């Protein structure tokens, strides 16, 4: 007989035999458990039944466990997700931990280990032991941290527009959370189970953007060897996020405008248009009104996109959120690297709060994640924050005071790793082999030295 008080566990694995084994193991310990065989089904079931924890296989027929993990992190960051990985796929498991997985288990899953891991994941943290996360999450909405008045206004707008189809223009400096806001809107919209597709208008070369957006038919141009769907069609039923819209050429602006008016796309090289049902969110770090004055942006397109405007404040305009964000990312950095939690000294917090933060939240996040790894003890001092800042920004050689050995070594390591990464075109496995270290070790070093993983740079 099922006991409704026992935690409900969702097992997402496409291998029905393995799924059944997990379900049996769980039920043998009185957990209530149910299974799903795909990304789509898993997310749907999660939404409907709100399990207390999720066991997640990384290889699924309609996507990867990483997709599930990302989505669950957005929807319900406190629900523990335990990743089950095939034997020998440690890098994937590390990546999963980076994305917020609570633990990982190697296949075949051993009963004892499964229970130990689940128990740990489901035990509430002892009061006082790790207050940082709870406090952080109080101010957190949609994965957005911050309780300042300026952020409250942002949350209100997100709440208001999410259930509608309204187009939203999200403005703000670099690193202020524009993409996060766009994802939050999608995740809280009726389209949440449908795709969220991002197109970065600044990253796609001008000559490719039309085909990227609208697709092309075979033979439309050299290299068009087969029909291809564009982002509009990939996002059908869901949301298309047009990032850096201020960088779109005037020619493309006209084409986009026409598409928005007609609700139809015409693939490059085709004479037939196809209807699409897409909600558009756009973002820019440029001042579009100025761009309109300069003749760089069409005002009719601006009016179409800017039905609702959300402006993300720069971090220096909401300094009261710095401590919350700093603790949040310091904790995340520790958890991801399997390290003990660390605390900031009051002086370190004070110091952080008055920095200029030109790179906004992204800069703060990188700094805190680096500190989580480089600081050996369990407190992070003001001095260590200064050193870490220095390491991120200072050129490799610099006049003036001699550089402490530790810093010099870090700089050399950073430079050398960057070199090898570039020689290996970002391939971590080959770079690790070159350097004679384990891939996971390389990954850790990169994190510590503030080197973005190539996957993120793509
Ligand atoms: N309010 C916030 N709370 C927590 N994390 C945030 C917040 N705002 C931004 N971040 C984090 O900062 C980083 C940058 O955010 P995001 O990519 O959304 O910014 P952006 O405005 O799109 O930047 P860019 O203009 O450079 O593309 C991400 O890692 C994101 O998770
Ligand atoms: Mg962005």
Average pLDDT value for residue range 366-378: 89
CB 70 within 8 A of CB 99: yes
Tell how far the Cα of 327 is from the centroid of ligand 1, in angstroms: 16
Q: Which of 133, 150, 154, 176 to mutate to test the pocket of ligand 1 (most atoms within 8 A of CB)?
A: 176
Nearest CA to ligand 1 atom 15: 177
Nearest CA to ligand 1 atom 16: 177
Q: Is the CB of 177 under 6 A from ligand 1?
A: yes
The pLDDT, as a whole number, for residue 2 is 63
The pLDDT, as a whole number, for residue 456 is 42
Please say if the pLDDT value at position 445 is more than 90: no
Beta strands in 127-252 (DSSP E): 168-171, 196-200, 239-243
Residue 257's Cβ-side half-sphere holds a number of Cα atoms within 13 Å equal to 16
Atom of ligand 1 nearest to the CA of 328: 4
pTM tops 0.75, yes or no: no
Average pLDDT value for residue range 295-319: 96
The pLDDT, as a whole number, for residue 323 is 93
Average pLDDT value for residue range 107-119: 84
Please say if the pLDDT value at position 307 is more than 90: yes
List, for residues 39-61, the tens digit of each pLDDT value: 999 999 998 888 999 999 988 88
Tell me which DSSP letter residue 2 carries. -
Average pLDDT value for residue range 226-243: 95
Instruction: Give the three-state DSSP class for 80.
Output: coil
Beta strands in 314-364 (DSSP E): 343-344
Grade residue 217 by pLDDT with cuts at 50, 70 and 90.
very high
Average pLDDT value for residue range 191-210: 89
- How far from 385 is each of 5, 10, 95, 144, 338, CA to CA, in Å? 46, 41, 26, 23, 21
Please say if the pLDDT value at position 89 is more than 80: no
Domains of the chain plus CATH, in order, are: 8-122 (3.40.50.2300), 149-312 (3.40.50.300), 318-457 (1.10.8.60)
> β-strand 379-380 against 168-171: which pairing, if any?
unpaired
Tell how far the Cα of 318 is from the centroid of ligand 2, in angstroms: 19
**Ligand lying nearest the CA atom of residue 357:** 1
Angle between helices 90-98 and 439-448 (to 10 degrees): 30
**Ligand lying nearest the CA atom of residue 243:** 2
399: left (phi over 0), alpha (psi -120 to 50) or beta: beta
The mean of the pLDDT values for the chain is 85
The pLDDT, as a whole number, for residue 244 is 94
Q: Is the CB of 175 under 6 A from ligand 1?
A: yes
Atom of ligand 1 nearest to the CA of 176: 21
One-letter-per-residue 3-state SS of 133-156: HHHHHHCCECCECCCCHHHHHHHH
What does the DSSP assignment read for 379-415? EE-HHHHHHHHHHHHS-SS-SSSPPPHHHHHHHHHHH
Tell how far the Cα of 285 is from the centroid of ligand 1, in angstroms: 12
Tell how far the Cα of 232 is from the centroid of ligand 1, in angstroms: 24
Atom of ligand 1 nearest to the CA of 312: 21
CB 364 within 8 A of CB 399: no
Nearest to 358 by CA among 180, 173, 151: 173
List, for residues 259-298, the tens digit of each pLDDT value: 999 999 999 999 999 999 999 999 999 999 999 999 999 9
97-101, 261-265, 311-315, 343-347: least confidently modelled range = 97-101
Rg (CA), the chain: 24
48-57, 70-79, 369-378: least confidently modelled range = 70-79
* Structure-block tokens of residue 429: 């496995």
């Amino acid at each position: 007989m099922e006991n409704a008080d026992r935690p409900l566990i969702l097992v997402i694995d496409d291998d029905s035999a393995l799924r059944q084994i997990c379900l049996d193991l769980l039920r043998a310990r009185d957990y209530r458990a149910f299974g799903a065989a795909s990304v789509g089904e898993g997310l749907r079931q999660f939404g409907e039944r709100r399990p207390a924890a999720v066991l997640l296989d990384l290889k699924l027929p309609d996507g990867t466990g990483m997709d599930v993990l990302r989505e669950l992190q957005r929807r319900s960051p406190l629900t523990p997700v335990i990743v089950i990985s095939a034997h020998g796929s440690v890098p994937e498991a590390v990546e999963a931990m980076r994305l917020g997985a609570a633990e990982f288990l190697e296949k075949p899953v051993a009963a004892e280990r499964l229970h130990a891991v689940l128990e740990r994941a489901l035990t509430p943290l002892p009061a006082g032991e790790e207050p940082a996360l709870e406090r952080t999450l109080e101010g957190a909405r949609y994965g957005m941290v911050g309780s300042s008045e300026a952020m409250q206004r942002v949350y209100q707008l997100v709440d208001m527009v999410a259930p509608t189809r309204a187009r939203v223009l999200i403005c703000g400096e670099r690193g202020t959370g524009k993409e996060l806001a766009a994802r939050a809107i999608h995740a809280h919209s009726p389209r949440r189970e449908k795709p969220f597709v991002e197109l970065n208008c600044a990253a796609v070369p001008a000559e490719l953007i039309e085909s990227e957006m609208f697709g092309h038919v075979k033979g439309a141009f050299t290299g068009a060897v087969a029909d291809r769907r564009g982002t509009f069609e990939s996002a059908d039923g869901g949301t298309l996020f047009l990032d850096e819209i201020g960088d779109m050429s005037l020619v493309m602006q006209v084409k986009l405008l026409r598409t928005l008016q007609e609700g139809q796309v015409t693939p490059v090289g085709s004479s037939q248009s196809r209807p699409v049902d897409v909600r558009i969110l756009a973002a820019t770090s440029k001042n579009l009104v100025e761009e309109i004055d300069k003749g760089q942006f069409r005002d009719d397109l601006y009016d179409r996109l800017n039905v609702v405007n959300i402006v993300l404040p720069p971090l220096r305009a909401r300094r009261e959120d710095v401590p919350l964000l700093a603790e949040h990312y310091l904790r995340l950095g520790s958890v991801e690297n399997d390290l003990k939690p660390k605390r900031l000294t009051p002086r370190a917090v004070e110091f952080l709060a008055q920095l200029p933060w030109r790179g906004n939240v992204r800069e703060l996040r990188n700094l805190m994640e680096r500190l989580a790894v480089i600081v050996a003890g369990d407190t992070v001092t003001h001095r260590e924050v200064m050193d870490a800042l220095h390491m991120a920004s200072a050129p490799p050689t610099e006049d003036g005071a001699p550089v402490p050995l530790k810093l010099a070594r870090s700089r050399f390591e950073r430079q050398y790793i960057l070199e090898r990464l570039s020689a290996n075109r970002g391939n971590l496995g080959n770079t690790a082999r070159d350097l004679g270290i384990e891939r996971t070790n390389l990954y850790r070093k990169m994190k510590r030295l503030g080197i973005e993983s190539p996957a993120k740079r793509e």
